[in-house]
Structure formats: structure tokens, C-alpha cells
């Protein structure tokens, strides 16, 4: 399929580059470093070969969210956004931007998201899970009451919010002790992000802002397969949910969430997701530079689904959600 749009596609700046070093063996670091720092050369060639018309670019992980010094986090986020805006301006028909934000300072994050959308022309936000502010051992999740004003601003701006993974902190990762291979994309990323998404659903966030749209990568971090059980629990007990939100979690998942196929090129997983959320809420992505663009594109182009669904997931859903018609047309 030609004209695909991909939206979980990463870059780095020198301040955040080393955050990606641990995700590949040392023998592959030179290649990954080239991929993540490059925007207009290798990346574009790979896009052209794979039929990808546009990438929405976002900062690597955990980056800003793991900077304990709030002042420095604010500075790195702002410089990253300025850098990305300048790179997008060189080729806006092929690249657009998602904002990085220092959630360590909710007021500053609120001001920065408005700047990024209204002045820099960014299409949304990508945040790498929880943040650490002042205390490296204290994660701050996005359902915290201190973010109420921030969420109100995102809802007012009417832009999508991408909730991207990061590993749990060491004291919260003891289940993985002795099994380091289960960290990162193997398992810990998905578990951490799924719980974070469920916290947002349970918190009442979408009752306050019913039009707010959250994007999850990696085929929804396992939630399409598990969301029914989250609601059913031990149904014979006939007890109401104990969370503040007013509706079933599956209703929020189907109305306030989109999922991408980034890094999860599994046909059974896609078919399950289509049954749970529908083709209108699934988006193509590759997870470059951590996954191979050609593998992602070939799988998606050959996947045994209808051409109407392929077109929606590969292009039109993202075109409409991120309002890209001004640069790509209909």
C-alpha cells in the first residue's frame, strides 16, 4: 500500500541519545545511533521503499520523563521541540512532530503543549510513561490530581496524546529480578503502559473530557485481549466497580483510545484488535529505529484484511485524527 502514515517513529538529540543505548547489543549500537539521529537520509530512503508517505516524529524514551532535575527536564523538552520543529520545516510533507513535555512541572508542560501546537504546529503529544521529579525513586503517573489543568489544556487544544512505554523503576520491577530479558519490549514495557492506561480510564479523566483521545502502541499493549476481563472480574458477585469513573473500562477503551501496530506485526493480534476496537481505531506504525521499516510495511501490506480496512489503518484514520489534511490533502 502506498501513502501510509506512521506515527510511532523516534529521533534523539545529543542529550537523550544514550537513553536508547541499552536496547540493543553493543555490536548494533553504531547502527541504531545512526538511525535515531538521522531524519532526512536513511529514514527517507526506507520510507520511500516501504510506501510510507509521512512519519510523525517523537523523542526517544525515557528521555525527558527520566530527568529528575525539573529545570533540566524543562530545558531538554523545549530544546528537543525546537529542534524537531526546525527539522519538520525542512520537509513538512514527509514529517510532522509530536511534542515532548516535562511533566515534572505540570504548569510548564501546559504552557509548552500550547506553544508546540499553536506556534510550532505540532500535531499532538508523546509522553514516555511516568515522570520523576526531584526524587528518582518516586514515579508520578498521569492520573495524578496535579495534572488536571494539563489535561484540560490538551482537551481544549483537541490534539491526540500518545502514551509511550518505559520500564518500571527498579523498586517496582522486582518481579523481573534475575530475568532481565523480560524488561523492555519483551514484556515490561507492555505491562507498565497497560496499567498506566487503565489508571487513566479508572480515574474519571474521560468523564471530565469525553473527547480526549489517547494513543497506545504495540497493538494496544495487550489491552484488546484483556479489557473484557478487566470489566467482568467475578461477575457473579454482582458488585459495582470500585473506581471513580462512571462507565465500563471497555467503553473508554473503545471511545477514547486508538492503538497502533508499532512493533507488533502479528496477524492474530491485529484481527483480535479489529474485533475489539474496530478498524477505525487502529493506526499503522513501525517503531523505527527499533524495528525494521521493511518488515512492518511488508507485513501490513500483505496482511489478510479487506482493502478498505487496510486503507483506514494505513492512512485515513491517522490523517483525520492528527488533522493532516492541510499538508497531505484528503
Tell me whether the omega of the peptide bond preceding residue 120 falls within 30 degrees of 0, making it cis: no
57 phi and psi angles, rounded to 5 deg: -95, 145
Confidence bin at 75 (pLDDT 50/70/90): very high
In this model, does residue 330 exceed pLDDT 80?
A: no
Over residues 40-60, the pLDDT tens digits come to: 999 999 999 999 999 999 999
Please give the grid coordinates belonging to residue 265.
506485526
CA angle, residues 244, 246, 248, in degrees to nearest 5: 105
Confidence bin at 328 (pLDDT 50/70/90): very high
Return the higher-pLDDT residue of 260 and 330. Answer: 260
Q: What percent of the chain has pLDDT above 70? A: 100
In whole angstroms, what is the distance from residue 207 CA to residue 213 CA?
12
| Mean pLDDT (whole number) for 3-28 | 96
In this model, does residue 234 exceed pLDDT 90?
A: no
Please report the pLDDT score of residue 63 as a whole number. Answer: 98
Mean pLDDT (the chain) is 97
pTM: 0.97
Please report the pLDDT score of residue 235 as a whole number. Answer: 86
Q: Which of 50-59, 102-111, 238-247, 272-281 has the lowest mean pLDDT?
A: 238-247
Overall fold of domain 4-328: TIM Barrel (3.20.20)
Please report the pLDDT score of residue 185 as a whole number. Answer: 96
Confidence bin at 135 (pLDDT 50/70/90): very high
Please report the pLDDT score of residue 104 as a whole number. Answer: 98
In whole angstroms, what is the distance from residue 219 CA to residue 190 CA?
10
Domain ranges of the chain: 4-328
* H-state helical runs in 182-232: 188-202, 205-208, 223-232
Please report the pLDDT score of residue 233 as a whole number. Answer: 87
The DSSP annotation for 157-195 comes to HT--EEE---PPPGGG-GGGTT-GGGTGGGTHHHHHHHH
Strand partners, 52: 4
| Mean pLDDT (whole number) for 310-328 | 98
Which residues, including other chains, have CB under 8 Å from residue 34's CB and lie 6 or more apart? 42
Over residues 189-208, the pLDDT tens digits come to: 999 999 999 999 999 999 99
Q: How many other C-beta atoms lie within 10 A of the C-beta of residue 100?
A: 31
Please report the pLDDT score of residue 237 as a whole number. Answer: 87
Q: Are 271 and 220 in contact (CB under 8 A)?
A: no
In whole angstroms, what is the distance from residue 141 CA to residue 169 CA?
12
| Mean pLDDT (whole number) for 99-119 | 98
Residues with active-site annotation: 287
Which residues, including other chains, have CB under 8 Å from residue 210's CB and lie 6 or more apart? 255, 256
| Mean pLDDT (whole number) for 260-284 | 98
Amino acid at each position: 500500500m502506498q501513502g501510509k502514515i506512521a506515527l510511532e517513529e523516534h529521533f534523539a538529540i545529543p542529550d537523550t541519545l544514550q537513553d536508547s543505548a541499552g536496547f540493543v547489543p553493543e555490536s548494533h549500537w553504531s547502527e541504531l545511533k545512526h538511525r535515531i539521529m538521522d531524519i532526512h537520509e536513511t529514514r527517507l530512503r526506507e520510507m520511500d521503499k516501504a510506501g510510507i508517505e509521512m512519519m510523525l516524529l517523537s523523542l526517544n524514551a525515557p528521555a525527558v520523563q527520566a530527568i529528575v532535575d525539573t529545570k533540566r527536564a524543562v530545558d531538554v523538552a523545549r530544546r528537543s521541540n525546537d529542534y524537531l520543529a526546525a527539522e519538520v520545516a525542512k520537509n513538512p510533507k514527509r514529517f510532522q512532530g509530536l511534542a515532548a513535555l516535562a511533566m515534572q512541572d505540570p504548569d510548564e508542560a501546559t504552557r509548552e503543549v500550547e506553544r508546540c501546537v499553536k506556534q510550532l504546529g505540532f500535531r499532538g503529544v508523546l509522553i514516555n510513561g511516568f515522570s520523576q521529579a526531584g526524587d528518582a525513586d518516586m514515579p508520578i503517573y498521569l492520573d495524578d490530581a496535579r495534572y488536571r489543568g494539563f489535561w484540560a489544556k490538551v482537551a481544549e487544544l483537541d490534539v491526540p496524546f500518545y502514551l509511550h512505554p518505559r520500564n518500571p523503576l527498579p523498586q517496582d520491577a522486582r518481579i523481573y529480578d534475575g530475568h532481565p530479558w523480560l524488561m523492555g519490549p519483551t514484556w515490561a514495557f507492555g505491562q507498565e503502559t497497560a496499567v498506566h492506561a487503565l489508571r487513566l480510564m479508572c480515574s474519571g479523566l474521560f468523564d471530565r473530557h469525553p473527547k480526549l483521545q489517547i494513543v497506545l502502541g504495540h497493538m494496544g499493549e495487550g489491552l484488546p485481549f484483556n479489557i473484557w476481563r478487566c470489566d467482568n472480574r467475578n461477575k457473579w458477585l454482582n458488585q459495582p466497580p470500585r473506581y471513580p469513573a462512571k462507565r465500563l473500562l471497555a467503553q473508554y477503551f473503545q471511545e477514547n483510545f486508538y492503538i497502533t501496530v508499532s512493533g507488533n506485526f502479528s496477524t492474530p493480534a491485529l484481527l483480535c484488535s479489529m474485533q475489539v476496537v474496530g478498524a477505525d481505531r487502529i493506526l499503522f506504525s513501525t517503531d523505527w529505529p527499533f524495528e525494521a521499516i521493511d518488515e512492518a510495511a511488508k507485513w501490513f501490506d500483505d496482511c489478510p484484511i479487506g482493502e478498505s480496512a487496510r486503507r483506514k489503518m494505513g492512512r485515513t484514520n491517522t490523517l483525520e485524527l492528527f488533522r493532516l489534511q492541510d499538508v497531505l490533502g484528503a
